[in-house]
């Protein structure tokens, strides 16, 4: 997996849009960017994955610039229930060639009322 850098923590208020950036300068041509969300006392769960430009699903959007050296996870109008740790992973994950998946420290998002 490519080395990634994320902020350790972020604070937000209910109803705001939250953007979490992940830096991955050494991303390889076949690498995808994958984000997981972990609520307290639960295992992480997959939220979104992308290769370039923009990907959107019912939970979040993922923005990837042309050089792909960073990516931004965007959570629209957060609520208290979005308080969680968010992990960014970069590798050829969709193809299964990367067996060894290591999580970084992640970004702890605290949503306040």
Partner 1 sequence: NAGVTQTPKFRILKIGQSMTLQCAQDMNHNYMYWYRQDPGMGLKLIYYSVGAGITDKGEVPNGYNVSRSTTEDFPLRLELAAPSQTSVYFCASRGGEANEQFFGPGTRLTVL
Footprint on this chain of partner 1 (rule: CB under 8 A)? 32, 34, 36, 41-46, 49, 85, 87, 93-96, 99-106
Q: Which is nearer to partner 1, 86 or 111 (CB)?
A: 86
CB of 15 to partner 1, least distance (A): 28
What contacts 101, CB < 8 A, 6 or more positions away?
Answer: 1, 89, 91, 93
Residue 112 vs residues 11, 43, 60, 61, 79: alpha-carbon distances, Å = 7, 23, 19, 21, 8
Q: Please, what sign has the CA dihedral across residues 86, 89, 94, 100?
A: negative
Q: Which is nearer to partner 1, 48 or 78 (CB)?
A: 48
CB of 36 to partner 1, least distance (A): 8
What contacts 29, CB < 8 A, 6 or more positions away?
Answer: none
Q: Which is nearer to partner 1, 78 or 89 (CB)?
A: 89
Q: If phi over 0 gives left and psi between -120 and 50 gives alpha, with beta otherwise, what is residue 77? A: left
CB of 23 to partner 1, least distance (A): 17
Q: Which is nearer to partner 1, 29 or 42 (CB)?
A: 42
CB of 108 to partner 1, least distance (A): 9
């Amino acid at each position: 997996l490519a080395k990634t850098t994320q902020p350790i923590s972020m604070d937000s208020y209910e109803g705001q849009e939250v953007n979490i950036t992940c830096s991955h300068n050494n991303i390889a041509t076949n690498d995808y960017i994958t984000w997981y969300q972990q609520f307290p006392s639960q295992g992480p769960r997959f939220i979104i994955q992308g290769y370039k430009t923009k990907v959107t699903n019912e939970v979040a959007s993922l923005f990837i610039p042309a050089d792909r050296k960073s990516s931004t996870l965007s959570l629209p109008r957060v609520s208290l229930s979005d308080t969680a740790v968010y992990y960014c992973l970069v590798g050829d994950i969709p193809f299964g060639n990367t067996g060894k998946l290591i999580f970084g420290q992640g970004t702890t998002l605290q949503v306040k009322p």
